[in-house]
Amino acid sequence: MESSSYDENYSFYRSLFFSCAGAYILYYLGWVVKRPQLHCNDKFMKFVELHIPVLTEKFYPTIWCIEARCQTIIRSLFNRCTNIIYNRELLSLPDGGVVALDWSVHFLEPANHNEGLSDRPTIIILPGLIGTSKESYVLHLVNECYHMKYRCVVFNNRENGGVELKTPKTYCATYTNDLHEVVTHVSWKFPNSSVMAVGVSLGGLIVTNYTARMGHLCPLKAAIVVSAPWNIFDAAKSLEMPLNAFLFNRVLTNHLISTVMRYEKLFAGKIDFDHLRKSHTISDFDERFTCKVFGYNEKVEYYKEACIDNKISDIKIPLLALNSIDDPFAPGHCMMKEISTKTLFITGKKYFLVMMENKVEKFMKFSEVLLNGQKSKIIMDMTTTEEFYEKLVDMCHFISSDEIKNLDSRPKGSGGQGGEGGDPRSTLKSDSIFHSERRYYFDLQQNFRGVFLKMCGMPWNPS
């Protein structure tokens, strides 16, 4: 009897195990294994399909570890990577700062000792928020560059990589001056080499902001950004969710605090270190340290400039961005793709109307490019466009109405506000709309050159 009962239990649990395993495999193959979604123009799409065929194939995550947070933790626990030997170069910056450039030793010999070495492509790698050239993902990238016969250098941000901080300035997503100095130095060192950049997480933000800011003048031949958060506001919300905050946010924040605390004397008078010590999130740290160091009035101003989801049209070099939809640091719903673009030329200015979408909704971006190259942008979701259009129509009706004729259309003396070029201006009509946690302002103004409409949009923070 006991043997029969044991056999029945064994048979039941074996059947249960194989049933669960079969169901999991079906789930894995049906819902987890996917082909990457590619968003680019037709010309770049053909280039990617021809030269990067892996992006058209199905991606099979580790079958026993498919959750994004688990993959991050497992990677840190089972850190298997190639041993890379670097030759360190310290680069002095114009403001007195110093950064470390770690060159892979494989291709450091003088060019005349290695035929064709001088024109070998050079890859600049930018690690993440607290990363250095010793991170496992950086070592794997360097190793891949070696097998592809590329020259490789890792750009360690200020203070990172064991280099002492020399000035009261660190690094952030919008500060691209240091990268420009590194690119210029590498281009000078190897003038016949095509220089490219690979940025991971924060490094990807810096690379993308740099390429967008430089536009057609960007000295990089191409760039790749991995796990870069396209919208910093959404990324901050994701990292502040309870589980993400416990696993990642607090750990990274404590590391940032402990790093800058070593230079308390250097930042004396600029940073309230007692307040900084109480930071629990990266957002707190940015509010209390990053904004102070880089001259932002508040965190919203910094995050707005750091976002890259509205800068796609400004990038004029080939750029490949790799993101995972379930990445807690760069959630998939904040990734953008352009649907259509219209260009207008009016009174010597260029205007772009770009429709974009992410996993959640569609957006409209309005951009104005002045003759001197300066740009201004407004971005809004499509649910806002109808009300936005109504306000524009209302402004047009006001201009053509008799009401405007009764106004003093010529500002006199210094009573008006200083406009572009120092011209005094008067406000004829003002209005605003509030939608999707953003407020948009409309000011119909007039100066000696004529009537114009000034518009701006910003995140709404009533506190």
Write the CA distances from 450 to 171, 213, 350, 417, 419, integer angstroms: 43, 31, 18, 15, 12
Assess if residue 330 is contained within a domain. yes
With a CB cutoff of 8 Å and minimum separation 6, the contacts of 421 are none
Q: In sequence order, what DSSP letters do the residues of 126-138 get, joined into one string? A: E--TT--TTSHHH
Among the listed residues 348, 336, 292, the one whose alpha carbon sits nearest the alpha carbon of residue 311:
336
Whole domain around residue 125: which residue ranges? 86-335
Assess if residue 198 is contained within a domain. yes
Q: Classify strands 222-226 and 195-200 as parallel, antiparallel or unpaired.
A: parallel
CB atoms within 10 A of CB 150: 19
For residue 371 the two structure tokens come to: 């003759």
Segment (H or E) for 355: strand 349-357
Assess if residue 78 is contained within a domain. no
Residue 404's pLDDT is 65
Q: What is the pTM of this model?
A: 0.76
Residue 111's pLDDT is 43
Residues 314 and 449 in one domain: no
For residue 150 the two structure tokens come to: 């590329």
Residues 9 and 148 in one domain: no
Segment (H or E) for 365: strand 362-369
Assess if residue 278 is contained within a domain. yes
Residues 146 and 286 in one domain: yes
Assess if residue 39 is contained within a domain. no
What does the pLDDT look like over 384-426, one tens digit per residue?
Answer: 888 888 888 888 888 877 666 665 544 444 444 444 444 566 8
d(CA 216, CA 121): 20
Assess if residue 73 is contained within a domain. no
Of 335, 358, 383, the last residue of a domain is: 335
Residue 254: strand, helix, or coil: helix
Residue 310's pLDDT is 78
Question: What CATH number does the domain containing 241 carry?
Answer: 3.40.50.1820
Residues 248 and 351 in one domain: no
Residues 90 and 238 in one domain: yes
Give the residues across from 152 on adjacent strands: 123
Residues 294 and 428 in one domain: no
With a CB cutoff of 8 Å and minimum separation 6, the contacts of 315 are 208, 211, 212, 215
Assess if residue 410 is contained within a domain. yes
Which residue positions in the chain have pLDDT lower than 50?
109-116, 409-422, 462-463
Residues 327 and 396 in one domain: no
Question: What CATH number does the domain containing 419 carry?
Answer: 3.30.2450.30
Residues 26 and 118 in one domain: no
Residues 304 and 363 in one domain: no
Residues 394 and 292 in one domain: no
Write b or e for each residue in 77-113: b if 16 or more Cβ atoms lie within 10 A of its Cβ, otherwise e. Answer: eeeeeeebebeeeebebeeebebbbbbbebbeeeeee
Assess if residue 211 is contained within a domain. yes
What does the pLDDT look like over 334-364, one tens digit per residue?
Answer: 666 666 677 777 776 778 777 777 655 677 8
Among the listed residues 302, 299, 271, the one whose alpha carbon sits nearest the alpha carbon of residue 283:
299
Residues 399 and 325 in one domain: no
Residues 355 and 330 in one domain: no
Please state the domain count of the chain: 3
For residue 31 the two structure tokens come to: 């819902």
Residue 124's pLDDT is 98
Query: How long is the chain?
Result: 463
Contact 337, 358 (CB under 8 A): yes
Give the residues across from 355 on adjacent strands: 340, 364
